[in-house]
Amino acid sequence: MSNLIPPHGGKGLTCCLLEGAELDAEKQKAQGLKKVSISPRIKGDLIMIGIGGFSPLTGFMTKADWKGVCENFLTADGTFWPVPVTLDVSDEDAGAINEGDEIALYDPEGDEIMATMQVTEKYALSNDEKKWECEKVYMGEGTPTAEEFWKIAEEDHPGVQMVMNQQAFNLAGPVKVLSEGEYPTRYAGVYHRPEESRKIFDDAGWSEVAALQLRNPMHRSHEYLCKIAVEVCDGVYIHSLVGNLKPGDIPAGVRVKCIDALVKNYFVEKNVVQGGYPLDMRYAGPREGLLHAVFRQNYGCSKMIIGRDHAGVGDFYGMFEAQTIFDKIPAPSEPGKALLCSPLKIDWTFYCYKCDGMASLRTCPHGKEDRVLLSGTMLRKMLSEGGDLPDHFGRDEVVAILRAYYEGLTEKVEIKTHKAATGD
Ligand SMILES: [Zn+2]
């Protein structure tokens, strides 16, 4: 019997990925259905629905779900959910599809039919409704009024841009997923389905597992967060995003190598597991922190490590807003539909010369001048310009992998910095 936290929503892992003869038959059928092209973000969502990472979701959200999630963090059936999971289609496709139709969802990049879907609802989202979604989901303490938010959001917030660029119509309905795309082969050994990570944790005899979310290369501060969690849990799941990021971010393959080097050289290997998940970043800060906890619960993690500016972008969110939001979310009326994975809140961590080790704002009494404070953004900027890094920021093994990556780049990317990056 498993001692792990149960999947979110009280229905077990709701996997919609077909296998064997059922898969062959559905693939055959899909050839005859109307094909609808999907974006990379939707492809990631679809795979997560397929493998049970988004349990209890079994398809794309209805308008009532969308509205409830934006407004109260609840789907129409009262299940906690922090970020809309919707499928937008072109006007042309929307015109040709009726409620009740069955369609095939096609990934143009991989030239592959990813899923079939029973369309239960077709609905429009006006520009004003999309703006409302952005204000509900993406607005934070960094831009507390709608006026301040919109002054910069359309230009500087990739999540807002994604929502505003969505097409006018959405389709809702249950899906049957036919493929996990390139993930199982490209990230073999790292890409896990929730049932796989749960088996690894069960085999290790774990019950309390903490998840570390990573989208940047793993440095000393991430290592420290992980080690704090190792001390208080049975194990840590270092879970990297292997979907799409912003231009200028470091690709997943390089980041996975950095984690391997760190785990091999600086961890008791049996206490950590590395995994990857197929989503794109939404940059929804606090709301995304909640989404991270929802799907980590499905992967078998009872704790979600939340540090400084989790899933943030620019200066849109307060440094610890992704921690405090866990205390503010409304409780669903049925306890089984609540989020069970809880945050492991850790203050800003860094190397301090006077402490002579890793420390946090809660443990280190010294000043800014004694601490090595460098954000992932500043680091990428320094590496891409070929400059030296401050001592104790990263482990030598990791820095060597990153240098090799930047030296191999033929085109230099410009990296935008912001005030949160400097520690001011
Ligand atoms: Zn100190």
Walk along the chain (424 residues) and give the pLDDT tens digit of each residue. Answer: 899 999 999 999 999 999 999 999 999 999 999 999 999 999 999 999 999 999 999 999 999 999 999 999 999 999 999 999 999 999 999 999 999 999 999 999 999 999 999 999 999 999 999 999 999 999 999 999 999 999 999 999 999 999 999 999 999 999 999 999 999 999 999 999 999 999 999 999 999 999 999 988 888 999 999 999 999 999 999 999 998 777 778 889 999 999 999 999 999 999 999 999 999 889 899 999 999 999 999 999 999 999 988 888 888 999 999 999 999 999 999 988 999 999 999 999 999 999 999 999 999 999 999 999 877 677 778 888 877 888 888 899 999 999 999 888 876 555 555 544 333 3
Active site residue 215: yes
The rounded Å distance from CA 348 to ligand 1 centre is 12
Tokens of 73: 């963090």
Write down the catalytic residue from 215, 282, 296, 371: 215
* Residue 35 burial (CB count, 10 A): 14
Residue ranges near ligand 1 (ion) with Cβ within 5 Å: 352, 354-355, 359, 364, 366
For the chain, the C-alpha Rg in angstroms (whole number) is 21
The rounded Å distance from CA 349 to ligand 1 centre is 10
Peptide bond into 56 cis (omega under 30): yes
Taking each helix axis from N to C end, the angle separating 194-203 and 285-299, rounded to the nearest 10 degrees, works out to 60
pLDDT of residue 418: 52
In whole angstroms, what is the distance from residue 218 CA to residue 393 CA?
A: 10
User: Looking at beta carbons, which pairs linking 404-410 to residues 24 or more positions away fall under 8 Å?
Assistant: 405/250, 405/251, 405/254, 409/384
pLDDT of residue 9: 97
In whole angstroms, what is the distance from residue 124 CA to residue 63 CA?
A: 9
| Contact (Cβ atoms closer than 8 angstroms) between residue 291 and residue 83 | yes
The rounded Å distance from CA 398 to ligand 1 centre is 24
Write down the catalytic residue from 193, 198, 216, 380: 216
| Contact (Cβ atoms closer than 8 angstroms) between residue 403 and residue 383 | yes
Tell me how far CA of residue 49 lies from CA of 138, 173, 395, in angstroms.
Answer: 23, 12, 36
pLDDT of residue 248: 76
Q: At 169, is the secondary structure helix, strand, or coil?
A: strand
pLDDT of residue 1: 86
H or E stretch at 112: strand 112-118
* β-bridge mates for residue 303, sequence order: 210, 342
pLDDT of residue 311: 86
The rounded Å distance from CA 359 to ligand 1 centre is 6
In whole angstroms, what is the distance from residue 387 CA to residue 374 CA?
A: 14
The rounded Å distance from CA 367 to ligand 1 centre is 7
Tokens of 47: 């795979």
Taking each helix axis from N to C end, the angle separating 396-408 and 376-384, rounded to the nearest 10 degrees, works out to 50
**C-alpha 288: how far from its chain's center?**
7
| Contact (Cβ atoms closer than 8 angstroms) between residue 263 and residue 298 | no
